[in-house]
Chain A
Amino acid sequence: VTNADNRASVAIRQLADAIVVTASGEIDMTTAPAFEDAVRKSLDEHPAKLVIDLTEARFFSSAGIAVLVLAHRSTPAVDLRVVAREQVVLRPLQLTGLTDDLAIHASVESALAG
């Protein structure tokens, strides 16, 4: 799903034992609904593991954080892992205390492993 003016895109990838939701670009209150939609759809599949890949996110506001909190409510039934490397995502997660609650990985490979 790409939003009208290409500011953000969300993709869902179904693997054998995991679903990977990739949210790229600017995740703010106008683009977060598409992100939330993808996460809800993925949770409806009851995957063993849900990986939310934010490696390519260039902006991440509290609207995006609300989606992560939503996903976190499904743990521990779902093994939730978040991939983030850049300060632009990590800093808001730290400031809202989510780094303590979420399993944060530096790459999708490491999130899928183990």
Chain B
Amino acid sequence: MNAEDRAFHWDGPADGETASEVRRAIQGWATRAGLPTDLAEGLTLAGYEAMANAVEHAYAGTEQGPLSVRVTRDDDSIVMRVADQGRWRSATKDELRGRGLLLMEGLAKELAVDRSEHGTTVEMRWSLPEVQPIGLPSVSRGIGPGDEGVEDRLRGLEAITDTALNRLTVEEMTLEMLVRVREVLGADTSTVLVYDAASEHLIATASVGIEEEVRQGIRIPFGQGFAGTVAAEHRPMVVDHVDNTTVLNPLLWEAGLHTLLGVPMTAGGHTVGVLHVGSRKQRTFSENDIGLLELAADRLALAIRAQVSYAERAAAEALQRSLIPGRLPVLPGFEFAARYVPSAVSGVGGDWYDVFALPGDRIGIVIGDVSGHGLASAVVMGRLRSALRAYALDNDAPNIVLDKLDRKAHHFEAGVMATVAYGVIDLAEHRLRFCLAGHLPPLLAVPGRASEFVDAPPDPPIGFDLRARQRRCHTVDIPPGASVCFYTDGLIERRDRSLDGGMDALMRIVSPGGAEATCATLMARFVGAQSLPDDVAVLVAHRRGDETLSFDQV
């Protein structure tokens, strides 16, 4: 239900331990995204096999190289791309590799392996299970001959779904729907629980008959108890003796309920919550009853999801605005400029930049990208941003700061991944010392030279707490008139162009110049009038040229 469920990406070193970590992260993503178990397992195994190939074959006998994993999801499919920059050994009789490919072929709907001298990319595609169309057909299966009154009951629900509800707020509509559902099903209670992906709990948000549920803020863990099981298994369920063995929520058995019928609320393949009705006397629920409840659940799910998306988007935008620095430091020798543009598709995401003064004539500069989009990513971004500032104040070395950030993220934000570049500019020495956590390298533009990427291999992204080896710092001198340009992958990655292509273009376009002018050029050339698929952040640090300085000195 969150936009963050739409994408997963990771960049880092190709080694076995890392592949296992990334595999677990993919599994976590797939589960949070509400994918069916077999699809989640297939995706995880296929992705792992692709990574294993890169680890075992791409860099065989050479130094470890980078690995990139991208999973994107749209309404009807999931695409996974695993790319390395090595060359797979050509031994075709290699049994192990053969089996890995066999697995990928069997697991994915489509598989393409693209080998070039620049590396190997495995692209796999899965179809998402079809989403039930909303409307009458989904319930008509429940209507059989001899079931008198069903048509009338259906019309009762239909009336409410089609006309009155459109004028109501989501809260009013939910209550109205619960009243009507209780009435047409002859039940004593009806309740909606909405799924909160962040806490993995279902939260009672509206109820008719046991209003205390809502007032007491009842929370049911996903996968547990009655409602939790309905949500996890995505199917209607009936409990015909309500007690502490079948139902977690004591209010339900204290209310004297005997029989419960619950159906999942899903929209666009995402878990939205659970709708259930209860009866104080023993009764059976027919197929028709289940069908009616599902119809109501479908309608509610759509409305709730739309409302949640809208509210989250607005909150995420407000949060992002409050966190992006309004004004960058103005210094005699250096100038800074930056841009942040949300995605046209998924709104604001987890990209951020930051520039702050540090003790001792130093400036800290940060650019980062928390995986995912929407409110959840923006909230995590805010916490990482604050934590990084705090660590930066107490630790001079950028690699130590990122180590601490990694530990913090791993411990307190399970499942979160972020790429971050953090650097410290020494204003007296005109030197930048920085560390890359899975982030793309900065571009250095020096007058009289071709622009080039700083040769700085990335260390693992934030969130894995891999302490296999020390993170590395890189140092680069910033001559007069030079610019250092940091960016997130949203700037250069496009559907119709590879990351490498984007980086080549970046190298050609950026020339030494004022920070504002460089930002403007980048946005004009890379973004222009396009609708961005991903959010974009750019941060440019520019050392003013000698001309003014020498003029002063004369």
Do B20 and A30 touch across chains, with their CB atoms under 8 A apart? yes
Provide a sorted-by-A list of 11 A–B residue pairs whose CB atoms are within 8 angstroms.
Answer: A28-B20, A28-B48, A29-B52, A30-B17, A59-B44, A59-B48, A61-B49, A66-B99, A95-B105, A95-B107, A96-B99
Which among A7, A62, A66, A87 has the highest number of chain B CB atoms within 10 Å?
A62
Measured CB to CB, the closest approach of chain B to A71, in angstroms, equals 14
Measured CB to CB, the closest approach of chain A to B465, in angstroms, equals 11
Return chain A residues, CB-CB under 8 Å to B106.
94-96
Measured CB to CB, the closest approach of chain A to B535, in angstroms, equals 33
Do A30 and B99 touch across chains, with their CB atoms under 8 A apart? no
Selected contact of A66 from candidates B37, B41, B96, CB within 8 Å: B96
Which among A7, A26, A59 has the highest number of chain B CB atoms within 10 Å?
A59
Do B99 and A62 touch across chains, with their CB atoms under 8 A apart? yes
B82-114 at interface with A (beta carbon < 8 Å)? 95-96, 99-100, 102-103, 105-107
The reply to whether the CB of B16 lies closer than 8 angstroms to some CB of chain A is yes
Selected contact of B100 from candidates A30, A62, A91, A94, CB within 8 Å: A62
Return chain B residues, CB-CB under 8 Å to A92.
45, 103
Closest 7 pairs between A and B when the two form their complex, measured CB to CB: A95-B106, A62-B99, A62-B100, A30-B16, A66-B96, A29-B52, A29-B16
When chains A and B are docked, how far (Å) is the Cα of A69 from the Cα of B44?
22
Residues of chain A having any CB pair with chain B under 8 Å: 7, 26, 28-30, 59-63, 65-66, 69, 87-88, 91-92, 94-96
New A-B contacts (10) at CB < 8 Å, excluding given A30-B17, A91-B38, A96-B106: A26-B20, A29-B55, A59-B48, A60-B45, A61-B45, A91-B107, A92-B103, A94-B106, A96-B99, A96-B103
Q: A29-B16, A61-B49, A95-B106 are in contact. Are A88 and B41 (CB under 8 A)?
A: yes
Selected contact of A95 from candidates B19, B37, B95, B102, CB within 8 Å: B102
The reply to whether the CB of B23 lies closer than 8 angstroms to some CB of chain A is yes
Do B103 and A63 touch across chains, with their CB atoms under 8 A apart? no
Do B102 and A96 touch across chains, with their CB atoms under 8 A apart? yes
Which among B19, B20, B23 has the highest number of chain A CB atoms within 10 Å?
B20
Q: A28-B23, A62-B49 are in contact. Are A91 and B99 (CB under 8 A)?
A: no
The reply to whether the CB of B269 lies closer than 8 angstroms to some CB of chain A is no
Do A69 and B42 touch across chains, with their CB atoms under 8 A apart? no
Do B41 and A87 touch across chains, with their CB atoms under 8 A apart? yes
Do A65 and B99 touch across chains, with their CB atoms under 8 A apart? yes
Total contacting residues, chain B, CB less than 8 A: 25
When chains A and B are docked, how far (Å) is the Cα of A30 from the Cα of B106?
23
When chains A and B are docked, how far (Å) is the Cα of A98 from the Cα of B38?
19
The reply to whether the CB of B56 lies closer than 8 angstroms to some CB of chain A is yes
Return chain B residues, CB-CB under 8 Å to A61.
45, 48-49, 52, 100, 103
When chains A and B are docked, how far (Å) is the Cα of A37 from the Cα of B548?
70
B394-430 at interface with A (beta carbon < 8 Å)? none
When chains A and B are docked, how far (Å) is the Cα of A59 from the Cα of B106?
17
Write the chain A residue with the least CB distance to B18: A30
Return chain B residues, CB-CB under 8 Å to A95.
102-103, 105-107
Q: A29-B55, A59-B45 are in contact. Are A66 and B103 (CB under 8 A)?
A: no
Do B95 and A66 touch across chains, with their CB atoms under 8 A apart? yes
Do B19 and A69 touch across chains, with their CB atoms under 8 A apart? no
Q: A28-B48, A30-B17 are in contact. Are A62 and B41 (CB under 8 A)?
A: no
Do A62 and B20 touch across chains, with their CB atoms under 8 A apart? no
Measured CB to CB, the closest approach of chain B to A56, in angstroms, equals 16
Do A91 and B42 touch across chains, with their CB atoms under 8 A apart? yes
When chains A and B are docked, how far (Å) is the Cα of A60 from the Cα of B23?
12
Write the chain A residue with the least CB distance to B100: A62
Return chain A residues, CB-CB under 8 Å to B23.
28, 59
When chains A and B are docked, how far (Å) is the Cα of A29 from the Cα of B55?
10
Do A62 and B96 touch across chains, with their CB atoms under 8 A apart? yes
Return chain A residues, CB-CB under 8 Å to B41.
87-88, 91
Measured CB to CB, the closest approach of chain B to A48, in angstroms, equals 27
Return chain B residues, CB-CB under 8 Å to A69.
95
Do B102 and A63 touch across chains, with their CB atoms under 8 A apart? no
When chains A and B are docked, how far (Å) is the Cα of A99 from the Cα of B226?
36
Write the chain A residue with the least CB distance to B55: A29
Return chain A residues, CB-CB under 8 Å to B103.
61-62, 92, 95-96
When chains A and B are docked, how far (Å) is the Cα of A74 from the Cα of B44?
31
Do A29 and B99 touch across chains, with their CB atoms under 8 A apart? no
Measured CB to CB, the closest approach of chain B to A13, in angstroms, equals 26
Write the chain A residue with the least CB distance to B106: A95
Return chain A residues, CB-CB under 8 Å to B45.
59-61, 88, 91-92
Return chain B residues, CB-CB under 8 Å to A87.
37-38, 41
B33-47 at interface with A (beta carbon < 8 Å)? 37-38, 41-42, 44-45
Do A29 and B19 touch across chains, with their CB atoms under 8 A apart? yes
Measured CB to CB, the closest approach of chain B to A34, in angstroms, equals 13
Write the chain A residue with the least CB distance to B53: A62
B53-92 at interface with A (beta carbon < 8 Å)? 55-56
When chains A and B are docked, how far (Å) is the Cα of A87 from the Cα of B56?
26
Measured CB to CB, the closest approach of chain B to A3, in angstroms, equals 10
When chains A and B are docked, how far (Å) is the Cα of A29 from the Cα of B17?
9
Return chain A residues, CB-CB under 8 Å to B99.
62, 65-66, 96
Do A29 and B56 touch across chains, with their CB atoms under 8 A apart? yes
When chains A and B are docked, how far (Å) is the Cα of A26 from the Cα of B96?
18
